[in-house]
Amino acid sequence: MAIKILAPGLSTTVQDLGRPGYYHLGIPLSGGMDRFALRVANLLVGNDEGAAVLEAVFMGPEIEFTADAVVAVTGADMPAKVDGAVQAAWTSFKIKAGQKLSFDFLQKGARAYIAIAGGIDVPVVLGSRSTYTLGALGGHQGRKLQAGDELALGSAVKSVAAGRSLAESLRRAPGAPAELRVLPGLYWHRITDESGRQFFDDTWKVAPEADRIGYRFRGGRPLGFVPRKQPFGAGSDPSNIVDACYPYGSIQVPGGTEPIVLHRDAVSGGGYFMVGTVISADMDLIGQLQPHTPARFVKVDMKGALTARHDRASLLGRVRAALAS
């Protein structure tokens, strides 16, 4: 059983929950940028939560099915169509051998997750089927999909009916402006108090360059740095530090002008200071931001970050319970 890619969309990749454990060697986490939507898509078609799916950004692919299958599309609002007939989002539907899955224009959000019962069966590389395109690792031949690609599917774990749906109250999407909660980091002392306030007061906009490696924002006031003699090993710009590890979610601000939130395909270290880290509970939301979307950074403390993580885990628990049968 397989699917054929007739048109790939802009950048459609195979993703699962990611490849943790190698970041210290420079191999990033990868995996879906909105892992909540990825998990739900899998649950809707009866897969394990971490089965491999297709992540389509901004523009959907066109896919021909060679066998009957159950499919669900979650995440961005980009209506799925079977031979032209629109299907409900966040809901499982059937597709028959020979039928084509295509997508309407993106209406809201950025990334759609296409789960197929049985999952996408590409080789497991370092514990994951996720594609890391920059390193040509994992997924289908280490790259985004192209027209003519054929992907094998696994065997369905359990058979599920069409029409399984996740209640709207359990879905998640960024607000307007998007609010991204941030825990100030180890290098917070490098910027002036006034800059620290402005960073959180200003409304930023997603830059069109934002991708799986990092989400760049612009439009806020530049940061002012506390003067210092740059230490040995640090570059000459005040935004430089002696090389350090870059956590997933960390916000570097090269030159003090445009914050970049490192995401699933991030580089693991370098010489830019980091103002703080977007909390894990809000990382999925970033994956749904379109270019030019307004966004604000909201300061939280460790307690706030942990509470948000707990809330998120309990939301996932409610989703699992709702889709258990």
> Under the criterion CB under 8 A, does residue 208 sit at the interface with another protein?
yes
Contact present, 34 and 270 (Cβ < 8 Å): no
Q: Give the Cα separation of 266 and 286 in Å (integer).
A: 14
> Under the criterion CB under 8 A, does residue 77 sit at the interface with another protein?
no
Contact present, 205 and 293 (Cβ < 8 Å): yes
> Under the criterion CB under 8 A, does residue 225 sit at the interface with another protein?
no
Binding residue (CB under 8 A) for another protein from 62, 179, 211, 237: 211
Task: Write down the least CB distance from residue 58 to another protein, Å.
Answer: 5
Nearer to another protein, 240 or 290 (CB): 290
> Under the criterion CB under 8 A, does residue 80 sit at the interface with another protein?
no
Nearer to another protein, 38 or 210 (CB): 210
> Under the criterion CB under 8 A, does residue 106 sit at the interface with another protein?
yes
> Under the criterion CB under 8 A, does residue 105 sit at the interface with another protein?
yes
Shortest CA distance to 263 belongs to which of 239, 289, 293, 287? 287
Find where tokens 């998640």 sit: 172
**Dihedral pair phi/psi, residue 249, rounded to 5°:** 95, -10
Task: Write down the least CB distance from residue 43 to another protein, Å.
Answer: 27
Q: Give the Cα separation of 129 and 147 in Å (integer).
A: 20
Q: Give the Cα separation of 117 and 138 in Å (integer).
A: 20
Ramachandran assignment for 59, one of left (phi > 0), alpha (psi -120 to 50 degrees), beta (any other):
beta
Binding residue (CB under 8 A) for another protein from 50, 272, 290, 312: 290
> Under the criterion CB under 8 A, does residue 33 sit at the interface with another protein?
no
Nearer to another protein, 72 or 78 (CB): 78
Give the interface size with another protein as a residue count (CB under 8 A): 16
Task: Write down the least CB distance from residue 48 to another protein, Å.
Answer: 29
Mask 39-68, x = binds another protein (CB under 8 A)? ------------------xxx---------
> Under the criterion CB under 8 A, does residue 133 sit at the interface with another protein?
no
DSSP per position, 269-291: EEEE-EEEEE-HHHHHHHTTPPT
| Interaction residues for another protein, span 7-26 (CB under 8 A) | 10-11
Nearer to another protein, 14 or 182 (CB): 14
Distances (CA, A) of 239 to 63, 203, 235, 254: 46, 21, 8, 6
Nearer to another protein, 11 or 277 (CB): 11
Shortest CA distance to 34 belongs to which of 20, 18, 11, 47? 18
> Under the criterion CB under 8 A, does residue 230 sit at the interface with another protein?
no
Mask 238-277, x = binds another protein (CB under 8 A)? ----------------------------------------
> Under the criterion CB under 8 A, does residue 188 sit at the interface with another protein?
no
> Under the criterion CB under 8 A, does residue 135 sit at the interface with another protein?
no
Burial class (CB in 10 A: 0-12, 13-18, 19+), 173: middle
Q: Which residue stretch of 18-26, 106-114, 156-164, 309-317 sits at the interface with another protein (rule: CB under 8 A)?
A: 106-114
Q: Give the Cα separation of 34 and 31 in Å (integer).
A: 9
Longest dimension (CA), the chain: 67
> Under the criterion CB under 8 A, does residue 203 sit at the interface with another protein?
no
Angle between helices 35-44 and 302-322 (to 10 degrees): 10
Query: Interface with another protein by CB under 8 A: which residues?
Result: 10-11, 57-59, 105-107, 110, 208-211, 290-292
